[in-house]
Structure 1
Amino acid sequence: MARIPGRNPWLAWPAGIVCAAVVATLAWLALPMVPVVVAWVGESLRTATSPPVAAPVEPSRAPLLEIAESDDAIDCRRLYPDDLWVELAWRPEALLSQDFSAPSTSVASLTDALAPQVRVTCRWRFDGGGGISSTLARVASDSAAVVEAALQGEGFSCETAGAVLRCRRAQGGAVEEHAVSGDLWLSSVETGRVPEDYGARLAEGLWGAG
């Protein structure tokens, strides 16, 4: 084999051995990082191939509910969902009055038992007769059981959807509806032609559950 001029074999061999030793030392030092690198590569591949996962969304509370549970003032416009408000306000000769009168319920003993603190009462009168009286009031937080027992004894049908108790009775040309959840009581008496599912829509605007 031809030799390359100027290369000294006595220097080349020790230099090669030193280089090999350095490489072996570096490889030995890198051994603890091998599992970390493998895990990182695997995670990168999984992230690149997996479909994005949406972050969990916390259920939002109805803005009206926050106002109703606070001491802030609330009026009839705020009480009604937009679609229900438009349907009522645009009726010919519709007249609205707002006050703090007690709920218009045929079960007078219920009002006495609950001792409500009225937040707002909205009374609608329509051309040709008929109308609606709806009241939002604050009551004791354990009032749902009292309401259910009292109204079922008067012929109301009651059901619970989520945390909202709803009771309804149609009698003598009038529909009376009540909804209770926590410390809020929503009651309505309807006569004549009223929007479809009036009570359910009003409750949905407040609690987000019809």
Structure 2
Amino acid sequence: MIGGRNGWIAWPVGIVCVGVVGGLVWLAAPGVPSAVQFAGDVLRSGSAQLEEPAHSPDPVVTLAAGDDCRELYPSDLWTELTWARDRVLSQSQDAPSTSAESVRDALSPDVLMTCAWRTGDGQTVTTTLSRVDAAAAAIARDAFTGAGFACAPLAAGVRCTHSTGTFDEDDIVAGDLWLVTTEDGWHPEGYTDRLVQHLWPQ
């Protein structure tokens, strides 16, 4: 009833109101399934975010024995190595080429790949990636130091270097990986640093 008015006016107004509400419900009905689906997606998304670990480990390139050498290199370094026609790449699973043979024997590497580059005039860069015992980094520093290498801690392990004339050797032992590079007369700029960043991104 509408206060201050007769019943014969209130009843028609009430009927009109009911009709308007019914019409709005009829118009909104097609959107109900979408609204329900949207609410469900929001709830599922929130649950998934709560289930994610608070801290995830830094990504590391995953390589296995027999993988192509291309997987070892970041794109910019790969382009620099391959742009000249006289550069030849030989891929194998040869043992690491290192002047510290006693260290190689101690680490007992399981070679994943050896990527040997050679220029037309005989300059070479050879890199070997191997699996080693997860505790290898703990003994590598003393072993390489004893072999005359200069070693320094690396965020992921230890880095040891040795130079003789135009021949350089760079060894990285981190986690269960050993990356060793020898350069004879050819020293691509930032070669090892870029491999380290590719394999152990910071």
Q: Tell whether the structures are fold-level matches, with TM greater than 0.5.
A: yes
2:128 corresponds in structure 1 to 135
1:173 corresponds in structure 2 to 166
Percent of residue pairs identical: 42
- Tell me the amino acid that sits aligned with residue 61 of structure 1: P
Partners of 2:116 and 2:166 lie apart in 1 by: 17
Cα displacement string for residues 95-153 of structure 1 (whole angstroms, at most 9, x for unaligned residues): 00001000000111111111110000000001222111110000000001221111112
CA contact (8 A) 2:65 2:112 kept: no
> For structure 2, which runs of at least 5 residues remain unmatched after alignment?
1-53
**Cα RMSD after superposing both structures:** 1.8
Partners of 1:123 and 1:185 lie apart in 2 by: 16
Q: TM-score, normalised by structure 2?
A: 0.68
Partners of 1:143 and 1:202 lie apart in 2 by: 20
1:116 corresponds in structure 2 to 109
> For structure 1, which runs of at least 5 residues remain unmatched after alignment?
1-55
1:21-60 alignment, distance < 5 Å = 60=58
Q: 1:189 aligns with which of 173, 182, 189?
A: 182
2:81 corresponds in structure 1 to 88
Superposed displacement of residue 161, structure 1:
2.5
1:20 corresponds in structure 2 to none
CA contact (8 A) 2:162 2:170 kept: yes
Partners of 1:208 and 1:60 lie apart in 2 by: 7
Please identify the structure whose Cα radius of gyration is greater: 1
Q: 2:146 aligns with which of 145, 150, 153?
A: 153
Q: 1:104 aligns with which of 97, 102, 119?
A: 97
Moved over 6 A (4+): none
2:22 corresponds in structure 1 to none
Partners of 2:111 and 2:65 lie apart in 1 by: 13
CA contact (8 A) 2:172 2:178 kept: yes
